[in-house]
A and B are shown apart, each in its own frame.
Chain A
Amino acid sequence: MIHLVNIIWLILLAGGFLAAFLTGEVEQTTQAAFDSASYAVELGLGLIGIYTLWLGLMRVAEKAGLIKAFSKKIAPVLRLLFPEIPASSQAMGAMSMNIIANVLGLGNAATPLGLNAMKELQKLNHNRKSPSDAICLFSVINTSSIQLIPATVIALRNAAGSANATEITGTTLAATFCATVTGITAVLILRRLNRWRGKQ
């Protein structure tokens, strides 16, 4: 079975080059391919510093017992979403740190903490090639925004000379809520559907 990501990737690349023949932007497109590849590595090099910093700080937080304390605070919600993950496991602690960083809008901390949680979730995953139910749900929660205050957007609006840069906070929260609930519901429905299909 071919996964969706292959199709999306192929459409972007093949569609792009085919369109380049139509629009005549062949050289520019080829250059874009090479430039993007170099940029990806540059971006990665920049990420190494940030990831190193946050993963180091997280180890300190873990040793100090902070992660356990934090995860107890949001345990009721997480336990509801991830009943198969033991409440006192490393995975639960790592997930709660990622969710706290997301909600607080600590953008560059959220991803390294999320990858840390993925590592712990993968340790509990029996089939290492295929994402477990918990990995699927955790990934989808991270692909939808759950931050309380859209700080980046507010800063952009302020820079653009808005009379009331923060007025979109309420509408953003409402839309975020709709999007996140949709994501979680979709996971729960698709999970059932897959299991039902597997049984047939």
Chain B
Amino acid sequence: MIVIVEVLSRFAIPVFILFILGYGFYKKVAVYEVFLEGAREGFTTVIRILPYLVAMLVAIGVFRNSGAMELLFRFIAPLTNLLGIPAELLPLAFMRPLSGSASIGMLAELLKIHGPDSYLGRTASTMIGSTETTLYTASIYLGSVGIRDTRYILIAGLLSDLIGFLSSIVICTLIFGR
């Protein structure tokens, strides 16, 4: 199984690119010129999302480095212990909607400390695999078209993350045992 996944993740992107270009050439598309036409939009898209990137990453950086996160977890740990949620997974669950690179870093650390095949390692892996960086994604998606009003997008997205985390804990407990 691991071989299949490795081959897939190594070849998916080159095959995808080759397929698009090959098929385009077969359909007599001027591939190079048409590529450039579309590529022009890459720059403007990133310039449009840059302020949103700065706003989000500064807020996350301040919250993490100030010790605010540890204070928060000390505060809510009794409650989550009562619910049977492992305290070690709280920082991961909290960071996941905010930052992809930070939460992946946390997962790597958890895997190193507790081992990838432990209950915590498996559950943390499932949590990261089954959720996305909600706040970051939503702000970039909406920012790219100049919308600031988030309506109910964040509530729905964060609710989906919460259910992702809770179901990861339940499913891993059922499948792998605690």
Known: A56-B38, A175-B167. A15 touches B63 (CB 8 A): yes
Which A residues touch B9, using CB under 8 A? Answer: 105, 149, 151, 154-155
**Residue A81 CB within 8 A of the other chain:** no
Tell me what chain A mostly uses at the interface: helix, strand, loop, or mixed: helix
**Knowing that A66-B24, A186-B160 are A-B contacts, what are 16 other residue pairs whose CB atoms are under 8 Å apart, sorted by A's residue number?**
A9-B55, A29-B62, A36-B58, A44-B50, A49-B42, A51-B43, A53-B39, A56-B34, A64-B24, A115-B45, A130-B147, A131-B150, A131-B153, A145-B132, A178-B164, A187-B156
Q: Is the interface of B mostly helix, strand, loop or mixed?
A: helix
Q: How many A-B residue pairs have CB under 8 A?
A: 376
Say whether B122 contacts A168, CB under 8 Å: yes
The reply on B67 being an interface residue by CB < 8 A is yes
Residue of B nearest to A54 (CB): B42
Q: How many residues of A contact B (CB 8 A)?
A: 115
Determine the chain A residues whose CB is within 8 A of the CB of B157 once the complex forms. Answer: 139-140, 143-144, 183
* Contact residue among B31, B156, B172 (Cβ-Cβ distance under 8 Å from A190): B156
CB atoms of B21 and A57 under 8 A apart: yes
- Centre residue among B2, B111, B138, B156 by max chain A CB count within 10 A: B156
* A8 to B8 alpha-carbon distance, docked (Å): 38
- Binary flags per residue of A66-104, CB closer than 8 Å to B gives 1, else 0: 100000000000000000000000000000000000001
- The closest CB in chain B to the CB of A51 belongs to B42
For chain B, the count of residues having a C-beta within 8 Å of the partner chain is: 103
B62 CB to nearest A CB, Å: 4
* Chain A residues near B61 (CB-CB < 8 A): 32-33, 35-36, 39
CB distance from B61 to the nearest CB of A (A): 3
Does A166 contact B149, Cβ atoms closer than 8 Å? no
Which listed residue (A115, A176, A194) contacts B151, Cβ 8 A? Answer: A194
A33 CB contacts on chain B under 8 angstroms: 58, 61-62
**Pairwise interchain contact A104-B16, C-beta atoms closer than 8 A:** yes
Residues of B within 8 A of A (CB): 1-2, 5, 8-9, 12-13, 16-17, 20-21, 23-24, 26-27, 29, 31, 34-43, 45-47, 49-50, 53-68, 71-72, 98, 104, 107-108, 111-112, 115-117, 121-122, 125-135, 137-142, 144-157, 159-161, 163-164, 167-168, 171-172, 175-176
From residue A77, how far is it (CB to closest CB) to chain B in Å?
A: 18
Looking at the complex, which one of B13, B38, B111 makes contact with A160 (CB distance below 8 Å)? B111
Contact of A180 among B5, B59, B117, B160 (CB under 8 A): B160
Please provide the 9 A-B residue pairs with the shortest distance between their CB atoms, ordered closest to farther. Answer: A59-B38, A52-B42, A36-B61, A150-B129, A179-B164, A183-B160, A56-B39, A19-B68, A16-B62
Q: Which of A1-45 contact B (CB under 8 A)?
A: 3-5, 8-9, 12-13, 15-20, 22-23, 25, 28-29, 31-33, 35-37, 39-41, 43-45
In the complex where A143-B160, A171-B172, A194-B151 touch, is A60 in contact with B20 (Cβ < 8 A)?
Answer: yes
